[in-house]
Structure 1
Amino acid sequence: MTATGPTRPPHSAPGTQATPQLAALTQDDLVNRIAQVLTEAIMKGGFAPGARLTEATIARDLGVSRAPVREAARLLENRGLVVAVPRRGFFVRSFDAADLDQIYDLRMCLERHAGGLLAGRLTPEMDTALSAQVQLLHRLAEAGDGDRQIEEDLKFHRMICVFAGNRRLLKVFDELTAETRYGIAMIGRLYDDPHEIARTHEPLLDALRSGDATSFAEASDYHIGTARQRVVAMFGPG
């Protein structure tokens, strides 16, 4: 993304949330790039839950027409980050405890199955890649980069789905990723010690190395189940 100059200050009607400043875009795959910009703005709290995505303002700030902004908003709707309200437009989705509980429930099923497919087929190259990802989580903990750690945490789990070799399973996982990341971003840190995030991935890798699908299922259920309990508790009753 290349900025062409200073962005205009956000404009908002009295009583509404100000639109965050967004840098102008160039061309090439415009819709996906706009969707990425909006996703990052939502993840960082630039658009609060329930806020309206005003096409005209966003298009002006990004230096594009309204049509690709509308298409980008539809992509975010498909990813579970915004909802479309007839004759009113797109609004940032509000999550509650029940939403996150269902997301984690589905993740437990997907990742248990992915690990079962991968158990006994873990190559040295796959092992090296997953081990490097755990070490990256430790380095990000040292650096205090919580936002990046969330992204790389989810990337570790995605790698397992990729290595499992089921493209449709991976597609469903990817559809859940934005919702999972948004839910965690709304809460903040899951653990007081950021190294704990890295450490909780080590039993998953050990279970894959054992080649025992049952061991991985137990480790995965504990890992995701613990995160599920913390997230739901932090959101309060559904």
Structure 2
Amino acid sequence: MTKPHQPFHALQQRDLVNQIADQLTEALLKGRFQSGSHLAEAQLAREFGVSRAPVREAARLLESRGMLVSQPRRGFFVRTFSAEELNEVYDLRLCLERHAIQLLVGKLTAEMEEDLRKQLDTIYVAADRGTAVQQIEEDVVFHRMLCVFGGNSRLVKVFDQLCHEMRFCILLIGQLYDDPMRVASTHQPIIEALRTREPAACEAAIDYHIGVAQQKVVEMFRHSSQQRC
């Protein structure tokens, strides 16, 4: 099932797949496609004014980002999460980033801080005039930098594996806030905590940043599930 929606924007001839993927992500963010709903390739191709091939490739790209799932001979569907699954994703993410920031305590160089601040500026730019997919990707880059700077390559590898589900969770966070700038601003206290070089302050900053999102998203999903029952 889909909700009434605005027509998709006209596409440029180059880079069709990424343009379609970006617009589909925006549609997911705005709730056009309900959780578990089927994405009809033929209908989308007509709306975009393209063949089915770039639509299919865009859907595969969104599947790699954890937003869609494919079923043999049936096509692509909006990924469905339960509140419990989301809670597990956030629990693991919190464990990873809590450990990463503890590894980073006292080791933050001027170059690392500058890189984090530049990335935060990029997050603000994406929040101001970027697409939903750009906002998600820049958010992920910031948190991956924390893991990389922590110096544990295996932790980074696990973070990358979790990224597919994390991207979908960040997409859900966007549904909770009218102003993307508010989401962007929540990264600033992490940098400030790292500057103190105090383990407790750093852990508290990452716990708050991820924990508040976890509480709100999981609560939203539980409430939504109760309404459907």
Contact 2:89–2:166 (8 Å) recurs in 1: no
State the shift of 1:42 in Å.
1.1
CA 172–211 in structure 1, closer or farther in 2 if over 3 Å, else same: farther
Distance 1:37 1:222 in 2: 31
State the partner residue of 1:73.
59
State the partner residue of 1:181.
170
- Out of 206, 210, 213, which is 1:224 matched to? 210
Distance 2:34 2:80 in 1: 9
Count of aligned positions = 218
TM-score, normalised via structure 2 length: 0.71
State the shift of 1:136 in Å.
8.3
Contact 1:100–1:180 (8 Å) recurs in 2: yes
State the partner residue of 2:29.
43
CA 137–34 in structure 1, closer or farther in 2 if over 3 Å, else same: closer
CA 217–97 in structure 1, closer or farther in 2 if over 3 Å, else same: same
State the partner residue of 1:123.
109
Provide the aligned C-alpha RMSD in A.
3.9
Q: Flag structure 1 segments of 5+ consecutive residues without an equivalent.
A: 1-14
Q: Which has the larger radius of gyration?
A: 1
Distance 2:53 2:126 in 1: 38
CA 186–135 in structure 1, closer or farther in 2 if over 3 Å, else same: closer
Q: Flag structure 2 segments of 5+ consecutive residues without an equivalent.
A: none
Q: Which has the higher helix share?
A: 2
Distance 2:188 2:178 in 1: 19
Kindly report which structure 2 residues correspond to 1:9-48, keeping only aligned pairs within 5 A, or say none.
Answer: 17=3, 21-22=7-8, 23-28=10-15, 30-48=16-34
CA 140–83 in structure 1, closer or farther in 2 if over 3 Å, else same: closer
Kindly report which structure 2 residues correspond to 1:152-231, keeping only aligned pairs within 5 A, or say none.
Answer: 156-164=142-150, 166=153, 167-169=156-158, 171-172=160-161, 174-188=163-177, 198=185, 200-213=186-199, 215-231=201-217
State the shift of 1:20 in Å.
5.2
Contact 2:3–2:32 (8 Å) recurs in 1: no
SS at 2:66's partner residue?
A: coil
The C-alpha deviation readout for 1:93-129, integer Å capped at 9, x for no partner, is 2333223212211220221233234333322233245
State the shift of 1:159 in Å.
4.0
SS at 2:58's partner residue?
A: helix
Distance 1:116 1:217 in 2: 7
